[in-house]
Amino acid sequence: MKRFIAILFSLSMILLIASCKKEEQPQTTYTVIINVSTLTDATAALCDFTAYEYDENEEMTAFNDMLRAVNGTEKTFIANSNSAKVKMYLEFYADAPDFPRLKYWADSVYYLEKDNNIEITISGTTHLVQREPF
Structure-model confidence comparison of residues 38 and 85, the more confident one? 85
The pLDDT of residue 125 is 86
Say what the pLDDT of residue 16 is: 66
Report field, pTM of the whole predicted structure over 0.85: no
The whole-number pLDDT of residue 18 equals 65
Residue 117 pLDDT: 97
Confidence tier at 130 by pLDDT (50, 70, 90): very high
Which overall architecture, per CATH, does domain 29-129 show?
Answer: Sandwich (2.60)
Sort residue 8 into left (φ over 0), alpha (ψ -120 to 50) or beta: alpha
Instruction: Check whether 131 has a pLDDT greater than 50.
Output: yes
Question: What backbone torsions phi and psi does residue 18 show, to the nearest 5 degrees?
Answer: -65, -35
- For residue 42, the model assigns a pLDDT of 46
